[in-house]
Structure 1
């Protein structure tokens, strides 16, 4: 072994023992850390849930000069890890929207002073021009991206903001790159490595098979699930349990049912107040037999090793989600059960989410026409653009990302059009801190602003235009005043810059291209649901079939899945046929409503969304989410409702 390699290995082992109190690495951890500290300085860690991904950036952070930036969409993970690092005497912090102005200022100051070793942020934070300017002044020793499967368009949770992270890392001159995820098919692994420039030999995949999990799949009719769940909970050894459901109202209903049966149960979903969610989570974390009935909002980034059971009351939306969710059971290595209640009646509601996200061709045409009509430099208010064209913001960002991938647009630095400034001293005292031309410049900036009782409001671009100064000078002056403690500063009205890369574009060709891409994504999301059903009815070891989806091949059957236990492939119950449409819908009232709101219900896909209970910006703007007919055909297959709406004239 080379002397330098031996010294590096010794340093890694010493930090592991002295700072983290551990004597051995888990599978894959050493390989990832050594790859990061090696000459090619980039790695991908595909470890199962609970496999120790966080150590792969926390340990190197203590060996490297500079800051380690950790990008994660999970505030719960950020909080838990920062608390744990603080107890170990390691300086770490986060920047997110939940922090107060004073808390954000403290973190910013610590970054400038170089006293932090790790900074946790969400991917959307890189849309903040003030934040990216701050990072450009720092030495980024390591840029770590958690949930990295989100960078892949073909992953199960594609997020457009993730596509920008590789570019952000390069722009910030990050010295090392680490991507981490618990679920990645071989094609997603290739996407991640290509996007972040990670050598294929530095992709460390430890495998997905969990020998301590009894993998059960049970075909069931919808009306029998409550009784089946109750029987399972009463007949098995009690222990911390998660019951996953699809909808918030299901979480509330099932939790109430189990509570009336004397079981210690709480509901958890994104619709609860944050303090309620926090209380439920803390009680469950501290419990030895607590049950939480939750949507997928629960569990991500939560480290509880002794979860004894995970039940899927509803079908998961795909095998990637399923693998991640069952991975929260038995992290301590003790036997645990994961059981999927396989009810085909769930398929329609899961597919409807995918169908509901697909924009109408008319919306895409309007979007493309507006973007191409703005000239070579675009300044986009994403919220307003989303509302005008009835495209959800996440879907809109995906469409803009597609246009970037096609070489139509190049995204620039986002900025804020709205600034509010509150001087903490008199204006005379404030400008009195400066000399020469800067005194008049500051007076002119405040003179151009609209003065309220204590706050000044301004658009830096408008002020800069009036003063014939660069916008950047106005922004930098306001930021400097904030840094010096002379003003409070608030920003609003985010705008996204884009540059047209070609002079001529064919609007119809671009519209057709976007439509094809969204149709392809829709078909892929629908196929994911069918993958789950195929696992249930698989004629062979289901554990092996599950890990094969992620590229891992096992020769021997597991011996602890439903097929191995029974020796029989399962048969799904028949889908309950819905009554023929319109199935009790008040068609006359619906036509009248559609005629009254053509901007929200004028297109068949818009009308189908409304009847299936799927919201959209136009429905929200028209305040139709609370209408008696909203969701009148919820549970019917979207395709059938769409066909029905295609035959319904609104005039």
Structure 2
């Protein structure tokens, strides 16, 4: 290393230390932070695997103030965005977020600040990357750093695979992003390798601080379903009161258990995705302010919650994977003080969790018909995920995953998202607007506006048709409308997002392709079931709970000395399931459902999903979730329910 290079590195380090103290108020880094930050400042991409609550955000917030250009943070956690933004604004850091909760005036301000170069750090959700207008604006920015939170979602081996994440690596290349920071709190060695490969991160630039948390005391109690409530109340009563989270699988379980705990004298409230947004916000804010409140929640709660003094995390139901478990217990004891992590393990939970995995797998018929439709068009196609999901009654995620598989096979190539419809309301007379532009631009805008169809309150433009009619690039028309919107000349809305693809090659053996794709879906199903089995293995393990958990993530530690097993708890075996059986009344209910002739329940697999309490696009759109028999057989294995559905059809 030359003297000049060494001098530059030293100056950069000194400057980073100064920012750490003066802006963020810290005298020293937490483990792993300095290494990741130095790599980014030196121009290298990095993967950072830090436990929940260990300061991942500083790894991009600090470089954002030192790098020349914009830092974009992709995170699915709106609560995290809001909390971090409040913190940054207190530090006078010019940061912003773009998400669905902003009103028009707030969104316009964010766009204006981006265009002016004022914003240094921008938070967006992965879904924002499907916004045509946003991507056009992003392409005009110099992006110094792209930070990807929850990066394990990029891996097909991960527990929370999201196809939207696979496009992030491609987008980073297209936008000429200078460096990437991929962040996760839960990743096995296979997942870390996937993340590093996707973002071209060298092995020496993977920063792993380890998952071990010395202040977390892990306990597991194998029990029968009938005694769980009593056990939970007993364990909560035997420990000092403090903020706690109790995780359950089903929404109705959250409500019932919260009511039970209230009756037992605890301050408890339910939280789940079925509640109205304002109700969830109210519960969350109450929990953040309370010293002894218990939130009984589905996994919808906790993501992005930055409460340091949570004294207990209880799993009333089995977690769906060790990755989920590690992430959820990581919300306890972030202040470094002792915290309890207790799992009440009951074999009955396996049926419900397995049913969600089995029920989500599409039929080979749906995969065949969907694939055939995608590949029967021209060299370029545009698809609506929403429409395909409804047509074949498979979840949006399944449609997106299938499209991703076709991309990975080299059959399709994404050309990006587009809106089919642009609507606007004029805020000023057209003549007044056009007078602000030179003759050529005024004529172009006039031609665009003349193609708008008048409705009752909105004017609508079919951008694809306008592009063809005017022989002008679609991008120019969209940019012009967006510009008028940002100036306040019009109020612009978009609708009907469609995803464009090029068909790179024709498939000679369609049946072989369909079979290959179906095998991938079934493999994911097997992976989900295997993850459940690993949770059972942890429960029944003969050794230290902490050591067994860390071993799954590729970390060697040895006995922790403070978990339930290390404190002398005997090895446990889960009691056999008391599994519900299908009764004559259940069979009659299934026949009655078929007689109602709902289009959403016409096929046996649709009926089986409904009876197992698994929503689908068709049943949701038919508003069947409130039906008295929805989830009637939630405790019966999916295969048995499917057999019933086929028998009564």
Q: Does 1:397 align with 2:396?
A: no
Q: Does 1:31 align with 2:35?
A: yes
Q: Deviations over 1:533-567 (max 9, x none)?
A: 11011011110000011000113x11111211125
Question: CA offset at residue 612 of structure 1?
Answer: 1.0
SS in 2 for 1:154: coil
SS in 2 for 1:347: helix
- Provide the residue aligned with 1:242 in structure 2: 245
Segment drifting more, 464-473 vs 382-391: 464-473
Question: CA offset at residue 23 of structure 1?
Answer: 0.9
Whether the aligned pair in 1 keeps the contact of 2:96 and 2:122 (CA below 8 Å) is yes
* Partner residue of 1:13 out of 17, 21, 31: 17
Structure 2 stretches of 5 or more lacking a match? Answer: none
Distance in 1, matches of 2:628 and 2:277, equals 29
Counterparts of residues 558-577 of structure 1 (less than 5 Å)? 558-566=560-568, 568-577=570-579
Question: CA offset at residue 87 of structure 1?
Answer: 0.5
Q: Deviations over 1:611-635 (max 9, x none)?
A: 2121112223444444444323221
Whether the aligned pair in 2 keeps the contact of 1:595 and 1:602 (CA below 8 Å) is no
Question: CA offset at residue 452 of structure 1?
Answer: 2.3
Q: Deviations over 1:347-386 (max 9, x none)?
A: 1111111111111111111101111111211111111111
SS in 2 for 1:188: helix
Distance in 2, matches of 1:629 and 1:282, equals 34
TM-score (norm 1): 0.96
Distance in 1, matches of 2:622 and 2:75, equals 35
TM-score (norm 2): 0.96
Q: Indicate how the Cα distance of structure 1 residues 312 and 649 shifts in structure 2: closer, same or farther if over 3 A, else same.
A: closer
Question: CA offset at residue 213 of structure 1?
Answer: 0.9
Distance in 2, matches of 1:94 and 1:81, equals 10
Counterparts of residues 314-393 of structure 1 (less than 5 Å)? 314-393=317-396
Q: Does 1:532 align with 2:535?
A: yes
Question: CA offset at residue 468 of structure 1?
Answer: 3.6
* Partner residue of 1:147 out of 141, 147, 150: 150
Q: Does 1:633 align with 2:636?
A: no
Distance in 1, matches of 2:410 and 2:82, equals 39
Whether the aligned pair in 2 keeps the contact of 1:225 and 1:341 (CA below 8 Å) is yes
Distance in 1, matches of 2:570 and 2:229, equals 25
- Provide the residue aligned with 1:111 in structure 2: 114
Q: Does 1:86 align with 2:89?
A: yes
- Provide the residue aligned with 1:289 in structure 2: 292
Question: CA offset at residue 519 of structure 1?
Answer: 0.5
Distance in 2, matches of 1:425 and 1:486, equals 6
Question: CA offset at residue 55 of structure 1?
Answer: 0.5
- Provide the residue aligned with 2:462 in structure 1: 459
Q: Deviations over 1:215-250 (max 9, x none)?
A: 000011112111111111111111111111111111
- Provide the residue aligned with 1:491 in structure 2: 494
Question: CA offset at residue 291 of structure 1?
Answer: 1.1
- Provide the residue aligned with 1:22 in structure 2: 26
Question: CA offset at residue 443 of structure 1?
Answer: 3.3
- Provide the residue aligned with 1:259 in structure 2: 262
SS in 2 for 1:489: strand
Distance in 2, matches of 1:483 and 1:328, equals 41
Distance in 2, matches of 1:311 and 1:299, equals 13
SS in 2 for 1:50: coil
Segment drifting more, 139-148 vs 1-10: 1-10
Q: Indicate how the Cα distance of structure 1 residues 23 and 521 shifts in structure 2: closer, same or farther if over 3 A, else same.
A: same
Number of residues of Structure 1 aligned to a counterpart in Structure 2 = 645
Distance in 2, matches of 1:435 and 1:25, equals 55
Structure 1 stretches of 5 or more lacking a match? Answer: none
* Partner residue of 2:160 out of 157, 178, 186: 157
Distance in 2, matches of 1:422 and 1:451, equals 10
Counterparts of residues 503-518 of structure 1 (less than 5 Å)? 503-518=506-521
Question: CA offset at residue 422 of structure 1?
Answer: 0.9
Whether the aligned pair in 2 keeps the contact of 1:582 and 1:644 (CA below 8 Å) is no
SS in 2 for 1:243: strand
- Provide the residue aligned with 1:412 in structure 2: 415
- Provide the residue aligned with 2:590 in structure 1: 590
Distance in 2, matches of 1:167 and 1:228, equals 50
Segment drifting more, 476-485 vs 204-213: 476-485
Q: Indicate how the Cα distance of structure 1 residues 423 and 523 shifts in structure 2: closer, same or farther if over 3 A, else same.
A: same
Whether the aligned pair in 2 keeps the contact of 1:82 and 1:93 (CA below 8 Å) is yes
Question: CA offset at residue 325 of structure 1?
Answer: 0.4
Question: CA offset at residue 256 of structure 1?
Answer: 1.1
SS in 1 for 2:514: helix
Distance in 1, matches of 2:431 and 2:159, equals 57
Segment drifting more, 474-483 vs 73-82: 474-483
Runs (4+) off by over 6 Å: none
Question: CA offset at residue 302 of structure 1?
Answer: 1.2
* Partner residue of 2:228 out of 219, 225, 228: 225
Distance in 1, matches of 2:261 and 2:172, equals 48
Distance in 1, matches of 2:180 and 2:41, equals 10
Segment drifting more, 321-330 vs 130-139: 130-139
Q: Indicate how the Cα distance of structure 1 residues 89 and 249 shifts in structure 2: closer, same or farther if over 3 A, else same.
A: same
Q: Indicate how the Cα distance of structure 1 residues 373 and 592 shifts in structure 2: closer, same or farther if over 3 A, else same.
A: farther
Q: Indicate how the Cα distance of structure 1 residues 148 and 583 shifts in structure 2: closer, same or farther if over 3 A, else same.
A: farther
Distance in 1, matches of 2:271 and 2:638, equals 27
Distance in 2, matches of 1:13 and 1:440, equals 55
SS in 1 for 2:123: strand
- Provide the residue aligned with 2:472 in structure 1: 469
Q: CA RMSD in A?
A: 1.7
Question: CA offset at residue 472 of structure 1?
Answer: 2.5
- Provide the residue aligned with 1:43 in structure 2: 46
Q: Indicate how the Cα distance of structure 1 residues 373 and 218 shifts in structure 2: closer, same or farther if over 3 A, else same.
A: same
Q: Indicate how the Cα distance of structure 1 residues 453 and 595 shifts in structure 2: closer, same or farther if over 3 A, else same.
A: closer
SS in 2 for 1:563: coil
